């Protein structure tokens, strides 16, 4: 059977070229017809992920009409990054990255990704530019609180009496401890539910964003407060799906692409859990059957991970059953494989992981280096790329 699998993979592979900033990048093996959602799954903290992400975004923008970058981030983070894309405000980006400290996002490579994203995006005709969308729980409460407080200030008129006391606390708490912000979220969500007419009159078309951020700040409290990691993961994926359903009408039929942690992009239940992408494929989902999942699998690679106070490298190499499938037929340091098709034998489930029905493509990456955590002295002196508006 292994020989048959290798024969199939050898005729369903494509070498990916990330040289020259992905200028020659071609992923034509991906069948984009009739698809609305493209998801790249990764292991965090590996440097090459950033270049692969941007190259795929640019390719799918050109060949699949992607206009929404839909990634594993919170809604408040996405809103602030959209503001950065529009304005190039480096102080705003410094704030966001300051809140990323001790996470997998606080790296030189990820900051470069955001700069390159903006430089490319602003070079496009305004009608073709990509906007960012986020559906995750609010992992960085101060990002959420800044967005909520700014929304109140930007409303620009008198706060209705019934909600004045609650909203006055936003500025008091925006720079406070994360735990206090998460606890306040329950009060804020309750206030919105009791006084929806007042919030609607005050915030106008900002209400949807405001309520999503408040709700997912509360969900983050539930996620981090649950010691059962399986149940916590279910809370998070459910929150992602519910937020997607709220935001999807705003996408106006646009095609979406983004990068996620590996487990979120699997399109069928596994290990007694329903990943986010499996929920997207439910019959009631507006994108059921229109999803492409591309899973990155690594060999002889390194990543960097935070333990909450410092960073350390880890070995990023797939289990042996994966390596025996892909390593013998990989013809490039980065090789794209299609693993579904009439003659594919990969619909079976490997130990601990579903292929075929779970993901349709694999990017097999060899000898990748770990990303480099930022240091405080590195945050401000970046040479910021510019592009003609």
Lowest-pLDDT range of 18-27, 300-309, 321-330, 349-358: 349-358
Asked if 181 contacts 217 with a C-beta cutoff of 8 angstroms, the reply is yes
Q: Is residue 384 part of a domain?
A: no
Q: Does position 388 have pLDDT exceeding 90, yes or no?
A: no
Predicted confidence band at 376 (pLDDT cuts at 50, 70, 90)?
A: very low
Structural domain contains residue 82: yes
| 116 belongs to a structural domain | yes
Average pLDDT, the chain: 90
pLDDT band at 354 (very low <50, low <70, confident <90, very high): low
Instruction: Give the residue-averaged pLDDT of 262-280.
Output: 90
Higher-pLDDT residue of 350 and 96 is: 96
Token duo for residue 18: 């990330």
Task: Assess contact for 36 and 287: CB atoms under 8 A.
Answer: yes
Domain-embedded: residue 387: no
At 180 the pLDDT is: 87
Q: Is residue 99 part of a domain?
A: yes
Residue 385 domain flag: no
Report yes or no on whether pTM surpasses 0.85. Answer: yes
Distance CA 64, CA 257 (A): 10
Q: What are 283-304's pLDDT values in tens digits? A: 999 999 999 999 999 999 999 9
170 or 89, higher pLDDT: 89
Residue whose structure tokens are 């002889």: 300
- Residue 224 sits in which domain range? 2-378
Where are the alpha helices (H) located in the chain, listed in sequence order?
2-10, 48-63, 75-87, 90-99, 108-122, 141-155, 161-173, 178-194, 196-203, 207-225, 229-251, 276-280, 320-326
Is residue 203 in a domain?
yes
Q: Whole-angstrom Cα distance, residue 78 to residue 119?
A: 17
135 pLDDT tier (thresholds 50, 70, 90): very high
Q: How many domains does the chain have?
A: 1
Does a structural domain hold residue 316?
Answer: yes
Tens digit of each residue's pLDDT (9 = 90 or more) over 59-82: 999 999 999 999 999 999 999 999
- Does the pLDDT of residue 367 top 60, yes or no? yes
Mean pLDDT of 94-111: 94
């Amino acid at each position: 059977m292994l020989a048959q699998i290798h024969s199939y993979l050898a005729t369903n592979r494509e070498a990916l070229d990330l040289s020259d900033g992905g200028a020659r990048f071609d992923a034509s093996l991906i069948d984009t017809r009739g698809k609305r959602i493209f998801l790249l799954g990764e292991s965090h903290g590996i440097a090459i992920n950033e270049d692969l992400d941007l190259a795929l975004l640019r390719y799918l923008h050109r060949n699949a009409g992607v206009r929404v970058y839909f990634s594993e981030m919170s809604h408040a983070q996405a809103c602030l990054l959209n503001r950065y894309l529009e304005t190039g405000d480096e102080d705003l980006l410094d704030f966001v990255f300051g809140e990323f400290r001790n996470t997998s996002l606080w790296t030189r490579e990820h900051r470069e990704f955001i700069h390159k994203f903006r430089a490319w995006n602003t070079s496009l005709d305004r009608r073709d530019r990509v906007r960012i969308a986020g559906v995750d729980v609010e992992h960085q409460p101060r990002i959420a609180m800044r967005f909520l407080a700014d929304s109140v200030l930007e409303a620009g008129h008198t706060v209705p009496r019934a909600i004045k006391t609650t909203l006055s606390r936003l500025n008091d708490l925006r720079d406070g401890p994360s735990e206090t912000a998460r606890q306040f979220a329950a009060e804020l969500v309750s206030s919105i539910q009791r006084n929806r007419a007042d919030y609607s009159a005050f915030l106008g078309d900002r209400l949807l964003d405001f309520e999503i951020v408040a709700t997912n700040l509360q969900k983050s409290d539930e996620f981090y407060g649950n010691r059962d990691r399986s149940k916590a993961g279910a809370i998070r994926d459910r929150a992602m799906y519910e937020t997607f359903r709220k935001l999807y009408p705003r996408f106006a039929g646009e095609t979406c692409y983004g990068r996620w942690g590996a487990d979120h992009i699997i399109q069928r239940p596994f290990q007694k859990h329903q990943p986010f992408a499996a929920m997207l494929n439910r019959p009631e989902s507006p994108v059921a059957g229109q999803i492409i999942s591309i899973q990155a699998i690594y060999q002889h690679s390194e990543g960097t991970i935070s333990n909450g106070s410092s960073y350390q490298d880890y070995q990023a190499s797939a289990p042996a059953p994966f390596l025996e499938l892909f390593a013998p037929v990989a013809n490039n340091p980065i090789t794209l494989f299609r693993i579904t098709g009439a003659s594919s034998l990969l619909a079976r489930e490997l130990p601990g992981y579903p292929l075929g029905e779970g993901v349709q493509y694999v990017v097999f990456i060899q000898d990748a280096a770990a990303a480099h955590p930022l240091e405080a002295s590195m945050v401000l002196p970046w040479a910021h790329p510019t592009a003609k508006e």
